[in-house]
Structure 1
Amino acid sequence: MSNLQNPPALNSTSPLGFWDGAIGALSRELSPQQFKTWIQPLTLVSFEESDHSLTVGAPNRFKLDWIKKTFADRFQELASQYFGAPININFVLAVEGVAPGPTSTPKEVALEVDVATEVAPSISVEEQPFEIEDHSKLNPNLTFETFVTGKANQLARAASIQVAHNPGTSYNPMFLYGGVGLGKTHLIHAIGNHLLKEKPNARIRYIHAEQYVSDVVRAYQQKAFDRFKRYYHSLDLLLIDDIQFFSGKSRTQEEFFYAFEALLSNKSQVIITSDTYPKEMAGIDDRLISRFDSGLTVAIEPPELEMRVAILMKKAASEGIPMTEDVAFFVAKHLRSNVRELEGALRKILAFVRFHGREVTIDVARTALKDLLSIQNRQISVENIQKSVADFYSIKVADMYSKKRPANIARPRQIAMFMAKELTQKSLPEIGELFGGRDHTTVLHAVRKITEERSHDSQLNHEIHVIEQTLKS
């Protein structure tokens, strides 16, 4: 981020006050496991009032990259709210608040150095005895009752309910995949919570893939694999989130393969989530991919408009500030990618109305979200959509404007028209003009055709989702 020119005076100059407030806010917004994994290890490294810059340290490269990708915008938002002025937030590699410097690789790790250097603790192995917390790590608030259902996730929810009622027999393993913030974690917690209610003595463990990697590293360092295996092989239900983080970690994959085989032979249930279809995951052993494919694989798609509206209204009501349908439609039309983005927008609106003592109206929502809406409008244009679709389907951008009609060109062109209508504020005639001067009825036909196909074509849904993520990255 570039430094501010002529920065305005700050309302507050207490970086520690900001840090405590930001950490507190994120602890309420995230599940305990997510907070412990991603936010708790961060440190406030420095604060420069002269140029309004604040530096946050992450303990390893893996966490640094993930924090930048996933939480940078939220930290920026919290900082601007606290200081009353734009703040430059820099994320760096740091250990316990110390600026980055050369680090040594633990001598105990000989086999999987790449994993160890990413997740090995900064204290010595002798100071941290090998232990695995023997409790479920489930978030009790994530249940089937609190999960909003729509066309995008109804199959995944139905399969999850079936597994919850018949663990180890219905679909084993079950593999849920989809983009960030679509409800995968919510569903697997719901399964765990249901089983725990039915069988209080069941051995259940929810774990993020990165924590599993960490357990493997510590078991290897401390020669404690017997204990590691006894624990993981004896579970009744293993819920493992974001397994794409196993990529390139051969020892972790080997140990998970053994645990996977042991659990299935014991008729224990295994449920896995990922951001990608199994066969599209890079750096994952073929043996594991074939095991993932042997059960039920279900996609969770980005929520459709009606579902986004329902989510907003339900969550606003739970906060004690009802939102009318017209306001929910306004917000949902502008924010399309995932539930987490919707929740972030709702938090901004609720904070605004509480602070100003206003009711939730479209004008209030537009004011509260003006920065977010401005960024969205700048980022996605019809031209960007045309280029992204053309790149994805390996055609020329010029084919978007041409009169050519072979299937390998006409279909991507229709998808681009559909996405232009979905992701921009352009009218049908304006979109038609940008596609080589086509009539608005041609655009309308394309929108209706792709909308209808999406209702039953999971591959098309996946392709559109990938293109959307590219546009918003």
Structure 2
Amino acid sequence: MLLIRPLLGISFRTVVEVLESFLLKKKDIDLTKLKDSPESKAKEYLLDKIGREKYDLWFSQLDMSFEKDKLQVLVPNSFMEGMLRRNYLALLEEAGSSVSGSEVGISFVVNKQAQKNSERRIKPANASKPLKYPKARPVVVEDLPAGTGRYNLDDFIVGRKNKMAHRAAKACVSSGSELYNPLFFFGSYGLGKTHLLKAIVNETMRNNPSLKCKYISAEDFTNQFVNSTLRKDMNSFRKRFRGVDVLAIDDVHFLASKKGTQEEFLNTFNSIDHADKKIILASDSHPTMIEQFTESLVSRFVSGMVIKMEMPEFETRKKIVEIKASRMGLSISQDVVEYVAQNVSASVRELEGAVKKLSAQHLLLEKKITLSSAQYLISDMVSRVSSAPDAEGIIDTTASFFSVSSSQLRSKAKAKTVSLARSVAMHLLRENTDLSFPEIGGCFGGKNHSTVIQACRKVKKLIDANATVDWKHRGVKRSEKIGSVIKQVSDSLNIQQ
């Protein structure tokens, strides 16, 4: 068995990416041979969610068993237990809940037989004698309440763009003010919404152990609702959710178009709110921009505090790189820090992933991270980001070109220069991002999607006609071909025309 020392803060997926040529050996799974047991159904759920390669690496040789409201997972050693806990705990909770129809906790047991199973999966390359894991005594790890984990507010790295979200989360933990109920975070993936939701739950439980707190995804809420409906056991479902002091629902946009679940959730929301309990929500879009939400649900969502989560600015991204590297025991020069922060700007999650790649290279191959090696290791991330400019960057750059402010573009101002700049920015967002018309409208202070469609059509007609547009630049009239305007703004954004 190949001996791998634990790597603090580095997922095993990253380790595999560095060593996959001699660590990972794929093995086909014959689904027809899976037994129709709760454990097998849980494994099928995992396979469906993460794919065969990751499933083979992590779960194919692990034994599981259901005991009351727990899913017990047998692992070969504390290293495997730690990796599963850090990277797959939430997924295991989802798998258990999807099978049982109710929320389950996860417990890990370090087991010698599991160690033997694991040893059959990974063979050392070019080794005359097989290496073995250090012997470990069987240890039962305490059950973790679903939704809790390593998240806390002190670990959330604060900058100018996420300061409001962090302060609201802290206030939610310490205050009973109606101002924060509900507290609704929205924004793209990997910006810290889940971190804040779980941190609020964790710190509330830590400060007030007697309180009942629950974190759950909207998808899991839906699955439990459907299962309870089929079993005609809605009383226990309602007791489970309406009896809590703090309810945190992640990815609430998943409820869109699910009218039955929306109605039940609205009743749950009202029950908790009327009892002066707290509700925290997260979504990828502003509640008014989520299509197929009932008006009553939207009105409840916007009745408290709605906060947008944005990608941190450059200085905060540098701080994130430095702190993440320090926690992993990785020493990197300032030019490497700045390169990573400048070129990986899609999400905080990808930024952390870039640092993990560098750390894996350093720890596994014992090589110092230079600027050139960093450029090579994260080149796939850089190319992906450079081809996908972010919405804020497009708006800011367009506003700067026309010598107006970004806030003017997001306002209702109808001055000729502002309207032209807004239309150009909407056109560029439509052409260079995956945002829908409603989502683009949300970037401009909640403009209606029909307004965005009209603006994009207007710019396209101007381009097709090779028309000249004019505007005032710091009080001086300017005139240029619309194509030239689009090109200049695009060049500033490094967008290939």
Q: When the two structures are superposed, what TM-score results if normalisation uses the length of structure 1?
A: 0.60
1:385: Cα distance to partner?
A: 9.1
Indicate conservation of the 8 Å contact 2:186/2:282, yes or no.
yes
Q: CA RMSD in A?
A: 4.1
Matched, 1:247 2:256: yes
Shift of 1:404: 1.4
Q: What aligned pairs does 1:245-324 form with structure 2 within 5 A after superposition?
A: 245-324=254-333
Do the aligned residues in 2 keep the contact of 1:173 with 1:269 (CA within 8 Å)? yes
Aligned pairs for 1:139-154 within 5 A: 139-154=148-163
Q: 1:212 aligns with which of 221, 233, 238?
A: 221
- Which whole-Å CA distance do the structure 1 matches of 2:331 and 2:44 have between them? 33
Counterpart of 2:102 in structure 1: which amino acid?
E
Residue aligned with 1:404, SS: strand
| Residues in 2 aligned to 1:418 and 1:145: alpha-carbon distance in whole angstroms | 39
**What is the aligned partner in structure 1 of residue 459 from structure 2?**
396
* Match 1:132 to one of 103, 109, 126: 103
- The letter of the residue matching 1:326 is D
Cα deviation, residue 412, structure 1: 12
Contact 2:336 2:371 in 1 (8 A): yes
Q: Which residue identity lines up with residue 14 of structure 1 in the other structure?
A: K
Structure-1 separation of matches of 2:167 and 2:160:
11
Amino acid at match of 2:187: G
Contact kept? 1:389, 1:412, Cα under 8 Å? no
Could you tell me how far 1:375 is from its partner in structure 2?
4.3
Which residue of 395, 405, 424 corresponds with 2:470? 405
Matched letter for residue 309 of structure 1: K
Q: How far did 1:281 drift?
A: 0.3
Cα shift at 1:335: 1.4
Is 1:201 aligned with 2:210?
Answer: yes
1:302 CA displacement? 1.4
Q: Could you tell me which runs of 5 or more consecutive residues in structure 2 were left unpaired when the two chains were aligned.
A: 1-20, 30-41, 57-93, 106-143, 395-423, 432-451, 473-478
TM-aligned CA distance change 1:122 to 1:138, over 3 Å: closer
**Contact in 2 for aligned 1:188/1:271 (Cα 8 Å):** yes
- Name the CA distance, whole Å, in 1 between partners of 2:275 and 2:426: 51
- The letter of the residue matching 1:176 is F
How far apart, in 2, do the equivalents of 1:170 and 1:413 lie? Answer: 47
Structure 2 residue aligned with 1:15, among 26, 48, 67? 26
Q: Give the paired residue count.
A: 326
- 1:38 deviates by 8.0
SS of equivalent to 1:15: coil
**Cα distance, 1:197 vs structure 2:** 1.2
**Cα distance per residue 1:296-349 (max 9 Å; x no partner):** 111111111111111111101100002333211111111111101112222222
Find the structure with the greater CA-based Rg: 2
Q: How does 1:175-190 map to 2 (within 5 A)?
A: 175-190=184-199
Q: Report the equivalent of 2:170.
A: 161
2: CA distance, partners of 1:416 / 1:307: 30
Alignment of 1:18-29 (within 5 A): none
Q: Is the 8 A contact 1:192 1:237 kept in 2?
A: yes
What per-residue deviation string (whole Å, max 9, x for no partner) do you get for residues 414-471 of structure 1?
A: 89866754556x9xxxxxxx8xxxxxxxxxxxxxxxxxxxxxxxxxxxxxxxxxxxxx
State whether residues 217 and 250 of structure 2, in contact with CA within 8 Å, keep that contact through their aligned partners in structure 1. yes
Contact 2:182 2:304 in 1 (8 A): yes
The 5-angstrom pairing of residues 437-448 of structure 1 reads none
How far 1:129 moved relative to its partner? 6.0
Q: Using a 3 Å threshold, how does the CA distance of structure 1 residues 224 and 418 change in structure 2: closer, same or farther?
A: farther
Deviation string 1:332-382 (CA, Å, 9 cap, x unpaired) is: 111111101112222222222334322222111011123333444566799
SS of the equivalent of 2:154 reads: coil
Q: Are the equivalent residues in 2 in contact too, given 1:309–1:325 (CA < 8 A)? A: no
Inter-partner Cα distance in structure 1 for 2:232 and 2:209: 32
SS of the residue 2:339 aligns to: helix
Measured in 1, the distance between the counterparts of 2:339 and 2:53 equals 40
Aligned residue type for 2:159? G
Whole-Å separation in 1 of the counterparts to 2:430 and 2:328: 43
For 1:354, the aligned partner's letter is L
In structure 2, the CA distance between the partners of 1:17 and 1:45, relative to structure 1 (3 Å rule), is closer
SS state of the match for residue 298, structure 1? Answer: strand
Look up the match of 2:367. 358
Which residue of structure 2 aligns with residue 70 of structure 1?
none
Provide the rounded CA distance (Å) in 2 between the counterparts of 1:196 and 1:36: 31
Instruction: Supply the AA of the counterpart residue of 2:213.
Output: I
Among residues 154, 179, 183, which one is paired with 1:174 in the alignment? Answer: 183
